[in-house]
Structure 1
């Protein structure tokens, strides 16, 4: 199997993409735990993201991971009530975290409307929790992250919208331009609900590995632009870069507008 410099892996359909990504995530967590004892993953919402989590929870290999020693964060969250079906964390708890018996003390949810008065306050609380976790790592094992405001992210999962947004960083909006912060409050999201909290691109790019999991022909234009070298302000999906690896895990439909040179270079899995 050839490996593309851009880390593109093309799967024949949605189901194959979800199953393979779930397997990759389990393997990654096993590897990290074997080296360090615990691991950290940043979760995403969306149809593909939620399907991957459900697939992990159903996979026989899941038992090889010590789920009580995995730390969970979110790349973004809708600022809604804690029981709202729009909340990414609620879906993840039901499909993934509760069935696997995750340690809830290691599950770091973005504050909901029950815990913060405004979306700005929620973003500030989340940023403070990230910084506390980073300082705890320093005290526990002497690990010093390049950004002392952020804990170590072993793998960060992202979806991509048809407009090329990632997390809740939308084209040409303030969030994708934000620097010097780890989180950002979004008040006028073009996709409902309008109020959200997101990691900034700086925070996303602190992760050891960033995986963008994308399915569907409606995402093909966004994937094509991002991999063709567009700027992240116009095409936020072009911005994420893992410190060690950036993986594009896509299905054949999402790959339909890739240039021939990337189609030829990318991995094709069946």
Structure 2
């Protein structure tokens, strides 16, 4: 199971450092298989394309003036979707592309200097399919901020008898029991339903239990950056807001959730 150190510390109050935490995890039977330092991803930043002009020596290339949050860079780009005022991901000089292990250097492309690279999703190993253009980011991304969550990732081996630790909160609880820190209280707001569910569920065996909540007027869009960052930092691809929320709750608290389209369900379930 993978989790970031910062995600763990949302539920565990501790002064212990990374080495002390990983040693304690192995000591209590949660064997640490790997610790990944993602500081090398810090050179991938959110950038804004200010101006796009034609390359003087190549019909299919464009010259882009790009703001990386601290300076204006000249980038040669061949993507067909690059345009003025779009936000995208810049691989700064010195960064190494995750998909190809290629290190970005200042280089002349058809006689014109390029001071970085505007990236596609496949070049950043965010998808296995070949991307047709560079990544287009929404307005909630801040120019100059890091695109990746560069936090340290811890990978532990959970044995079949430790289902209680198949969540970050469960791992934090187990660590707190060793005395290395204190488990933080989780605030759960009480939300009173204001609409009636059209779905009627009947349990016929007298033993089973099922619960759910009907949510109306939902617009399933792209998840906000903070949620995408959390999931993608542990290798889980962002799908949509609804799917990402269910995965977030499962990873955080070990509570599997399933979301269904109420319009496509039978109104009476047995």
| Fold shared by both chains (TM-score > 0.5) | no
Larger Rg: 2
User: TM-score, with normalisation over the residues of structure 2?
Assistant: 0.24
Greater strand share, structure number: 2
Greater helix share, structure number: 1
